[in-house]
Amino acid sequence: MPPVVRFAPSPTGYIHIGNIRTALLNWCVTKRAGGRFILRYDDTDTARSRQEYADAIAVDLAWLGMVPDVQARQSERMALYDAAAARLREAGRLYPCYETEEELERRRTLQKARGLPPVYDRAALRLTAEQKAAMEAEGRRPHWRFLLNHRIVEWQDGVRGPAHVDTASLSDPVLIRADGGYLYTLPSVVDDIDLGVTHIIRGEDHVTNTAVQIEIFEALGGSVPAFAHHNLLTTVSGEGLSKRSGALSIGSLREAGFEPMAVASLAVLTGTAEAVRPIATLQDLAALVDLSRISRAPARFDPAEIETLNAKLLHETAYADVSQRLSALGVGGGEAFWLAVRSNLVRLADAKTWWDVVRGPVAKGEQDREFLHRAASLLPAEPWDENTWGAWTQAVKDATGAKGKALFMPLRQALTGLDHGPELKALLPLIGRERALARLGA
C-alpha cells in the first residue's frame, strides 16, 4: 500500500528551514514510493492562526516543488473532534477537571519540594457529582484530560529504532481547554485516522506526544501509523529556529535569491549520514533519504552554507533550466553567456551584473593608455570564438613583452571595469570587437 503522510504546520508564523526539513522528509518518503502527501493546517488555535500564514505555507511548499495531494484545515473539522471526544467520554477516557492554572502550579511546586515528579495527581477523578455540580454553579468550566493507561508504550521509530515511553511518568494530557477549544493532541489523531495517514514523520520534540497519541489511536480504534522522529535543525551555536523570529524563513530565503534546491538540499541532508551537497532535483534528493541514517544529535548548520550550496548548484546548472528566469532578469547572451558566467555566480541574479559588464558601459580605471592602444591595435578581426583571447594576448605579449599579471590585468580591467570575473576567453566574444575597441580607448 503506498504511504500517506502529512505535513501539519500551525499557521501561526512563517515556516523556516527547520519546518521545511519535516515537510521535505515526508515528501521524499512518500513520493519515491508513489504515495500521497497531505498538507494539514493545525489551526485549532484561532487566536494565533492567520490566513496569511496558511497562504504563505502553500507558496513555500510550491516553491520547493511540493504540491499537496490533499489539503485539510482543522478549524473546518470540529464535528469530527466533537464526535471523538464524545466516544472517549463514553469509554471513561476523558474526564473533567476544574483546577485553575494557579492551583495546578501550587501542586507542582509542592510535588517538586517533596522530590516527586510534577505529574497531575488525577484529583479530579475523585470528585463527587455534587462537588462537580457545585463548581459548575460557581461558574467554573471544566477542561478535559485523557486518562492514560499507565503502561509502557512501545513503537519502532523510523529514525530512533525501538522506542518506548512509560505513560505512568506523564500527566494525563489536557485535550479540551475550559473554553471548549481543542489542543493539538486529539485533532491530530482524529485526522490521522480519518485521512488514512500511514506514516507520521515529525520532529523529535514530539516523541512524548507519540506515546500519548498511540494510546488515543487505540482508544479510538484506529490503526496506529508508523512513527519517525527526526532531529531538529539548529544553528552552529546550537540555537533552535523559531517561527516567531522569522529568521531563516523560507520566504526570506526565496527573496534573498536562493535556489529552492539549495535550501532543500541543506534542509534534508544536514544531520544525516550523507554529505551536505547540492542535489539538483527533489527526486534525486528523495533517493538519498534514509530515515534510519538520520543522526540522533541535533542537525547543526551554518546559515552561510546556503550560499555555498547555492553557488555550487548554479555552477552545475544547465542553460535550459534557467533560460526563462534569465530572460526575466533582462539577461541575454544565450547559452554562451550562461556557460561563461555560471561559475562566478552565488545567486542567479548575479548573472545580471555580468550581463551589464558585457553590455557596458564599464568603469574606467587608471590604466596604461599606451599599452591599451597597442593591445587594441592587435585585436583580431571578427568572428571571435573562445580561441580569440589566447591568440590576442599572445600577440600583445610578443609586441610589448608584458606577461603574466602585467599582461592580463590591465586588459581585464579595461574590458570589464573589474579586476576579477569570468574567464575572458569566454567573455571576450560576447563583448565583441566594437565594444572592446572602445573600452581599450581606441
Least CB distance to ligand GLU at residue 408 (A): 56
Please name which of 179, 277, 187, 196 lies closest in space to residue 6, comparing C-alpha atoms: 196
Q: Which is nearer to ligand GLU, 230 or 342 (CB)?
A: 230
Least CB distance to ligand GLU at residue 121 (A): 28
Residue 141 in 3-state DSSP?
A: coil
SS (H, E, C) 160-185: CEEEEEEHHHCCCCEEECCCCCECCH
- Which are the contacts of 242, defined by CB distance < 8 A and separation ≥ 6? 16
- Asked if 202 interacts with ligand GLU (CB under 6 A), we say yes
- Asked if 413 interacts with ligand GLU (CB under 6 A), we say no
Least CB distance to ligand GLU at residue 192 (A): 8
Please name which of 32, 29, 43 lies closest in space to residue 71, comparing C-alpha atoms: 43
Give CA angle at 109 (102, 112), nearest 5°.
155
- Asked if 347 interacts with ligand GLU (CB under 6 A), we say no
Least CB distance to ligand GLU at residue 25 (A): 11
Q: Which residue has the cell 457529582?
A: 129
Q: How far apart are CA 337 and CA 344, in angstroms?
A: 12
Residue 255 in 3-state DSSP?
A: helix
- Each residue 142-181 as x (binds ligand GLU by CB under 6 A) or -, in order, gives ----------------------------------------
Q: How far apart are CA 31 and CA 23, in angstroms?
A: 12
Least CB distance to ligand GLU at residue 18 (A): 11
Selected from 75, 104, 163, 184, the binder of ligand GLU by CB under 6 A is 184
Q: Which three cell numbers stand for residue 7?
A: 505535513
Choices 7-15, 64-72, 139-147, 255-263; region in contact with ligand GLU by CB under 6 A: 7-15
Residue 307 in 3-state DSSP?
A: helix
- Which are the contacts of 117, defined by CB distance < 8 A and separation ≥ 6? 111, 169
Q: How far apart are CA 200 and CA 151, in angstroms?
A: 22
Q: Which is nearer to ligand GLU, 190 or 427 (CB)?
A: 190
Q: Which is nearer to ligand GLU, 206 or 374 (CB)?
A: 206
- Asked if 8 interacts with ligand GLU (CB under 6 A), we say yes
Q: Which is nearer to ligand GLU, 99 or 215 (CB)?
A: 215
| The one-letter amino acid at 182 | Y
CB atoms within 10 A of CB 316: 11
- Asked if 215 interacts with ligand GLU (CB under 6 A), we say no
Choices 5-13, 122-130, 250-258, 410-418; region in contact with ligand GLU by CB under 6 A: 5-13
Give CA angle at 345 (343, 348), nearest 5°.
125
Selected from 44, 171, 188, 310, the binder of ligand GLU by CB under 6 A is 188
Least CB distance to ligand GLU at residue 22 (A): 7
403 annotated binding-site participant: no
Cis before residue 429, ω within 30 degrees of 0? no
Selected from 42, 99, 172, 204, the binder of ligand GLU by CB under 6 A is 42
Selected from 10, 44, 171, 270, the binder of ligand GLU by CB under 6 A is 10
Least CB distance to ligand GLU at residue 44 (A): 9
Residue 355 in 3-state DSSP?
A: helix
Least CB distance to ligand GLU at residue 37 (A): 13
DSSP 190: H
Q: Which is nearer to ligand GLU, 213 or 344 (CB)?
A: 213
Q: With CB under 6 A, what is the number of residues at the site for ligand GLU?
A: 8
- Asked if 32 interacts with ligand GLU (CB under 6 A), we say no
262 contacts 224 by C-beta, under 8 angstroms: no
Q: Do strands 299-301 and 233-235 pair parallel, antiparallel, or not at all (unpaired)?
A: parallel
DSSP 73: E
Choices 8-16, 250-258, 260-268, 383-391; region in contact with ligand GLU by CB under 6 A: 8-16
Q: Which is nearer to ligand GLU, 8 or 193 (CB)?
A: 8
Least CB distance to ligand GLU at residue 8 (A): 4
- Asked if 9 interacts with ligand GLU (CB under 6 A), we say yes
Q: Which is nearer to ligand GLU, 176 or 430 (CB)?
A: 176
Please name which of 227, 232, 170, 239 lies closest in space to residue 204, comparing C-alpha atoms: 232
4 contacts 38 by C-beta, under 8 angstroms: yes
Site residues for ligand GLU per CB under 6 A? 8-10, 42, 184, 188, 202, 206
Annotated binding-site residues for ATP read: 243
